[in-house]
Amino acid sequence: MVEIVTTQLLDPFRIGLIFFLLLTAIRTRANMGLWMPLAMGVLFIAILIPLTTAAASQVPRLTAIGLGVVTNAVILAIFLAGWTIWEKTRR
């Protein structure tokens, strides 16, 4: 299971999707809020990748999706921390 999480944490496609999810959520937060689009995006990405790639066939899909939610949340937390630091240093 550690191998799966490590693979997901280092997946450039997943990282890119979450990065651009955060950028989109930041730009639309006045209309949509911030947390609901981020939560739905994390869940969507966690479901999308195992269902569309053959790499997830090594483990059950529900396990890959569950670990994907956790992994996506960790990646998003890192990006949110970076964004928060960026915003505080700009002021």
Q: What is the pLDDT of residue 57?
A: 63
Q: Which amino acid is at 28?
A: T
Start-to-end CA distance of the chain, whole Å, equals 42
The yes-or-no verdict on residue 55 having pLDDT over 70 is no
Confidence of residue 16 (pLDDT cuts 50, 70, 90): very high
Confidence of residue 60 (pLDDT cuts 50, 70, 90): confident
**Domain encompassing residue 70:** 2-90
Confidence of residue 54 (pLDDT cuts 50, 70, 90): low
pTM of the model: 0.89
A 10 A CB-CB count for 77 gives 10
Q: What is the pLDDT of residue 46?
A: 94
Q: Which amino acid is at 56?
A: A
Confidence of residue 23 (pLDDT cuts 50, 70, 90): very high
Number of domains in the chain: 1
Residue 55 CA to residue 72 CA, distance in Å, equals 17
Instruction: State mean pLDDT over 7-22.
Output: 95
